[in-house]
């Protein structure tokens, strides 16, 4: 800002000096100074000085530029793909208000980086417990481990078994259920898969 004001002052001085030198060389009247006087009256002596308006306008431009360059960047959102196993993807009614859902299969994420899933539930329900997922151990030993979060890396297939305790009951006991599944990540973004078929176990 200081540099801008200095440059503006230099420009004004240059205009005045140019008018005086031109008049002295050519022998013409100092009409240029009359123009400078008009500028002075416009920028300094008016009820709302033009320089004040220009200053406010300049600050407004800086404000718009700052807002545009510092807006929070939206996170790119990919998609979760799921292939169900031939078994272990089921549902059952546990109480009048609760149902158990098991989701087993292979998950793949096609977005950037990694996806950390904290919640899993059927559309039209909400979870009553934290997510419980069983996945293959990361050390390649072939063991299984239970984790409180489901980590999906871009382009890497992961076999997992997820258990969900949900409410309300959205299926009819004894009948299969077809429903979309919602995964919620650490940024509270929802990723929807399906619909997925859930055979009913029990009555």
What pLDDT is stored for residue 9 in this prediction? 54
In a domain, 203, yes or no: no
Q: Are 101 and 189 within one domain?
A: yes
pLDDT tens digits for 64-122? 656 556 655 556 689 999 999 988 999 999 999 999 999 999 999 999 889 999 999 99
Q: Are 40 and 100 within one domain?
A: no
Residue 24 pLDDT more than 80? Answer: no
Q: Are 38 and 84 within one domain?
A: no
Number of structural domains the chain divides into: 2
Q: Are 56 and 104 within one domain?
A: no
**β-pair partners for 134:** 146, 161
What pLDDT is stored for residue 14 in this prediction? 60
CATH number, domain at 103? Answer: 2.60.40
Q: Are 50 and 123 within one domain?
A: no
What does the H/E/C string look like for 17-47? HHHHHHHHHHCCCCHHHHHHHHHHHHHHHCC
pLDDT tens digits for 160-193? 999 999 999 999 999 999 999 999 999 999 999 9
Q: Are 43 and 126 within one domain?
A: no
**Angle CA(123)–CA(90)–CA(92) in degrees, nearest 5?**
80
CB 101 within 8 A of CB 168: no
What pLDDT is stored for residue 188 in this prediction? 94
Which of 69, 92, 120 terminates a domain? The answer is 69
In a domain, 56, yes or no: yes
Confidence of residue 30 (pLDDT cuts 50, 70, 90): very low
Rounded to whole angstroms, how far apart are CA atoms 167 and 99? 6
Over the chain, what is the mean pLDDT? 79
CB-based contacts of 189, cutoff 8 Å, min separation 6: 75, 77
Rounded to whole angstroms, how far apart are CA atoms 159 and 154? 14
pLDDT tens digits for 128-170? 998 999 998 777 777 889 999 999 999 999 999 999 999 999 9
What pLDDT is stored for residue 98 in this prediction? 96
Name the residue range of residue 61's domain: 2-69
CB-based contacts of 107, cutoff 8 Å, min separation 6: 80, 81, 82, 150, 152, 157, 158, 159, 160
């Amino acid at each position: 800002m200081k540099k801008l004001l200095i440059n503006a002052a230099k420009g004004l001085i240059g205009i005045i000096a140019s008018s005086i030198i031109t008049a002295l060389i050519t022998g013409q009247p100092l009409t240029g100074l009359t123009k400078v006087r008009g500028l002075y009256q416009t920028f300094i002596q008016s009820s709302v000085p033009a320089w004040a308006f220009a200053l406010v306008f300049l600050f407004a431009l800086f404000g718009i530029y700052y807002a545009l360059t510092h807006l929070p960047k939206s996170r790119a959102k990919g998609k979760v793909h799921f292939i169900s196993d031939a078994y272990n993807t089921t549902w059952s009614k546990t109480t009048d208000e609760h149902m158990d859902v098991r989701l087993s299969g292979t998950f793949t994420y096609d977005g950037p980086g990694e996806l950390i899933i904290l919640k899993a539930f059927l559309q039209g329900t909400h979870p009553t417990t934290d997510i419980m997922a069983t996945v293959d151990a990361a050390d390649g030993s072939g063991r299984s481990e239970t984790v409180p979060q489901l980590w999906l890396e871009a382009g890497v297939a992961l076999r997992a078994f997820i258990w969900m305790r949900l409410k309300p009951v959205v299926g009819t006991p004894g009948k299969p259920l077809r429903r979309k599944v919602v995964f919620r990540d650490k940024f509270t973004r929802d990723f929807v898969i399906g619909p997925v078929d859930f055979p009913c176990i029990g009555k």
